[in-house]
Structure 1
């Protein structure tokens, strides 16, 4: 092979190698990061940078992408842990935690298995929080308990570059003996409430009856007061008549009252014989005389 051809061939090979090297350098220098990920770049085994979404440049052959971390929200598998309440009741709590990685450099270099670490931390926090509450509080204040768990968990996982977005208590299960005891207690409470309601009903009925009697007594008292006022008015009228008309007017009133009584007796049903005393006959005469006298006056 002529020297010129060999030299030309060698130059072409060198250009091809250079082109390949440049291509590889450019390819390794340019990194396109998806929106849902972050890249952790190392240089000689040491943290160099964290690449965000978009086009990024690194030093070829010196820097390398050591970890590709997803920043999407993650959900831990549902876990169950036993806990004992303050009133010594054994419960089984089902929890679920949602989190996302916000600082990949901490997650990569400070914790090996982040899911297992979070699950263990959640179990400890749940046992600790439930141990300070009674069973009724656990059942009725579940939202408050969830908030306490989330806050405690957020303080722990902050060093791991993790943000806890949500923590949920899916269920609180009891053993059969505790369930039976709670059912008996619930039935007893319902019976007590029924008795209280019935007693309150009877009490209300007695109060209403007493109010009715009191109202009737007040009305009777008012009626008696009206009658007393009427009698007083009549007595006053008679007194005025006696004062103005003299004794004859009084005698006239008495005689007319006797006549009215005898008239009522005569209106009885059936045949009857009325025996009048002499004083009654005199009453008719006195009334007639007084009437004539009053007319003449």
Structure 2
């Protein structure tokens, strides 16, 4: 074998080695799949589901296996949906809803439903109409939380076969037509007027009660004053009686005369009373008083 043959063989061997090395590198690149944290890969083998690759480094069979679907597992929000519904008291309302969900089993989502967003929107519309049909308008307005919970629960049960988890279901707004709005506004104004009348009546009632309490209190105080005055007079009478018992009739006559003098003194102390005309018995009262005073002084 000459040198040219050896060189030719070496070149052939090197070419084969380079080819094998290139093929190996390509095979490794095709076999190794690095899946991002926010995704999952659905792998098919000859058009049939083979496996689902989780985030991280994964290995598949080159050429035979292929990544058919790259599915995001991040939470998604459907666009705000508006649907008409009729309450149990025959009021037409428009309900704005929004749904948040995420895919947890991509193989079900890929092979069991074509348009997952459209399917969820249709399901939500049916659930909301059904729930509102069992409620009157006041319940829809006041029990929105129960409507949200019922919608989320029923939606979660129906989309379970699609590999979807419903994280949130929101009732954003409940809109009414103009006629219903006007009727509700009229009712609200009537209710406010009724409350105002009730408040005014209660105020008048309270004022009457307070006035009656004031009059009763005044009467009680007056009765107490009269009772005290009566007690004082009774006490004075008792003292006079004791004095009569102790000192006899002379003491009683002294008390009567003293009262007569006091009365005349008050009569003379009035404004403009410079001249006083006294009857004869008044002078006798003075004389008796001085007589008794003199006698007591002695």
Same fold per superposition (TM over 0.5) = yes
Matched, 1:45 2:30: no
Once the two structures are TM-superposed, the CA of residue 169 in structure 1 deviates from its matched residue by: 1.5
Q: Which moved more, 1:12-21 or 1:28-37?
A: 12-21
Aligned pair 1:119/2:121, yes or no? yes
3-12 or 184-193, which deviates more: 3-12
User: Deviation of residue 95 (structure 1)?
Assistant: 0.7
Following superposition of structure 1 onto structure 2, how do residues 168-247 of structure 1 map, counting pairs within 5 Å?
Answer: 168-247=170-249
> Runs of 4+ in structure 1 displaced over 3 angstroms?
2-21, 270-273
Q: Give the C-alpha shift of residue 6 in structure 1.
A: 7.5
TM-score normalized with structure 2 length: 0.91
In structure 1, how many angstroms separate the alpha carbons of the residues matched to 2:33 and 2:23? 17
> 2:236 aligned with 1:252, yes or no?
no
How far residue 110 of structure 1 moved from its aligned partner, in angstroms, is 1.7
- Unpaired runs of 5+ residues, structure 2, are none
Deviates more, 1:173-182 or 1:256-265: 256-265
Query: Residue 49 of structure 1: SS of its match in structure 2?
Result: strand
User: How much has 1:206 moved relative to structure 2?
Assistant: 1.1
The Cα shift of 1:16 comes to: 4.9
Establish whether residue 276 from structure 1 lines up as the match of residue 285 from structure 2. no
State the distance in 1 between where 2:87 and 2:99 align. Answer: 22
Alpha-carbon distance, 1:5 to partner? 7.9
| Deviation sequence 1:245-289 (CA, Å, 0-9, x none) | 111111100011111112222233145441313x32322222222
RMSD: 2.1
Ranges in structure 1 where 5+ consecutive residues have no aligned partner:
none
Instruction: Tell me the CA shift for residue 15 of structure 1.
Output: 4.4
Q: Secondary structure at the match of 1:82?
A: strand
Q: Find the residue that maps to 2:89 and give its secondary structure.
A: coil
TM-score when normalising by structure 1: 0.92
Aligned-residue offset at 1:193: 1.2
Residue correspondences, number = 294
